[in-house]
Structure formats: structure tokens, C-alpha cells
Amino acid sequence: MKTLWISLKFLFFFTLLTGILYPLLITGIGLAFFPKQSGGSLLSKNGKYAGSVLIGQEFHDQRYFFSRPSAVSYNPLPSGASNYSVTSRDLAKLVHERQLEFTVGNGLDSLYSVPPDMLFASGSGLDPQISPSSAMLQLERVARVRQFSKEQRQKMIVLIGSLTESRQFICLGEPRINVLLLNLETDKIP
């Protein structure tokens, strides 16, 4: 009975410590020192939340740059990949459909090389970035739909360059552009 009582005390103590006090402490530190990050890195547009810079989202409107495909329909709860193998017929069919959709949707020649990030979903299915080449291939469609002048198109090219993030630690990843940031900044072009 004495052992049971000691075990229950330990259970109560560590439940209180690790289940309540520690999470409250970490949450408090996050809110005090990193309020934007602890709040999900959300961005606002006209007083309403437009999205998070950390999680990809789908854009259907032709006025915007499109995100890379998602295997989980941009749902952050069951994030993950499709797990298709390189020999999968389903993957080959999906890539062909995405390539056709991208080339036709952006007015490109069918023999044009579509960047891989527009053909394959990321490992998490939630990557918010695309490659600069993917953005440049979509530029003409966005400019045409928005009826931009040559000067406004040039501003978009400069915008793509200024929003391009370089590799992390000089060697990790590829240059990339956050699609939500790009779309929000494109809306600001006069």
C-alpha cells in the first residue's frame, strides 16, 4: 500500500509539472518573446487573416500565383506526402495532369520544362514556397489577368527577386519564394 501511495504522488507531481506547469511556462515565454511566431506567423490583409507564412494554401484565382501541389489538400492536421513510389502509374498520371494544367493555364508551350515543385507535392504537403522559376513562369498569366502595364510587370519581376529567399546556411535547400507573401505584395502594385 505504501508503494502505491508513493506511485500516486509521483504520478500527480509529474502530471502537474509536465502536463500543466511546463506547457504554461513555455507558452508564456513564447507569447512574451516571440508573439508573432507563437501566434502561427499569421498575416493580415484589410484587417482579416490572409494566412500563415508557414503553411501553404491553395489559390484558385487566376490573379494570383499558385502554390505547389499538396497531397493533403493543404490541410495541416493530417500533413504528409502521397507516398507514391517512382514506379507508380498513379504518380506518373498525376504528374502528367499537373504538367498539362500548368502549361495550358500559364499559356506555355507543351514542350516547356515545368519546374519539379509544380509537379510534385512536398513531403509535408504544406510547403508555402515555390521556386523563383515557377514564379517567373506564372508571371505573364498574373500580369495578363490583372491587365498590368509593362512598368507593373517590371515591378513584379523586381518583387520576385526581392522576395526570393536564399539557401539556408549557404547549402541547405534551394532558393524559394513564399507564395502568400508574393500574392499579398502583388496586390499592392499600383
- For the chain, give the mean pLDDT: 89
Q: What residue type is assigned to position 30 of the chain?
A: G
Q: Kindly indicate the confidence band of residue 63, based on its pLDDT and cuts at 50, 70 and 90.
A: very high
CB 106 within 8 A of CB 138: yes
* Domains identified in the chain, total number: 2
Alpha-helix runs per DSSP H in the chain:
2-16, 22-33, 35-38, 89-105, 132-146, 150-163, 179-187
Mean predicted confidence (pLDDT) in 25-52: 84
Task: Indicate the length of the chain as a whole number.
Answer: 190
Mean predicted confidence (pLDDT) in 26-46: 85
Residues 121 and 180 in one domain: yes
Q: What is the pLDDT of residue 161?
A: 92
Residues 85 and 161 in one domain: yes
Whether 109 has a pLDDT exceeding 80, the answer reads yes
Tell me if residue 66 falls in helix, strand or coil.
coil
Q: What is the pLDDT of residue 15?
A: 95
Residues 132 and 168 in one domain: yes
Residues 99 and 60 in one domain: yes
Residues 15 and 58 in one domain: no
Provide the residue range defining the domain that includes 119.
43-187
Whether 58 has a pLDDT exceeding 90, the answer reads no
Residues 29 and 65 in one domain: no
Residues 64 and 145 in one domain: yes
User: Nearest Cα to 184, choosing from 169, 163, 167?
Assistant: 163
Q: DSSP of 102-132, one letter per residue?
A: HHHHTT--TTS---GGGTS--SSS---EE-H
Neighbour count for residue 114 (Cβ, 10 Å) = 19
pLDDT in tens, 129-153: 999 999 999 999 999 999 999 999 9
**How do strand 177-178 and strand 42-45 relate by DSSP bridges?**
unpaired
Dihedral sign, CA of 111, 117, 118, 119? positive
Distance CA 67, CA 54 (A): 13
Mean predicted confidence (pLDDT) in 144-171: 91
Residues 119 and 87 in one domain: yes
Residues 61 and 150 in one domain: yes
Residues 13 and 59 in one domain: no
Residues 26 and 50 in one domain: no
Residues 21 and 71 in one domain: no
How many CA within 13 A on the CB side of residue 134? Answer: 26
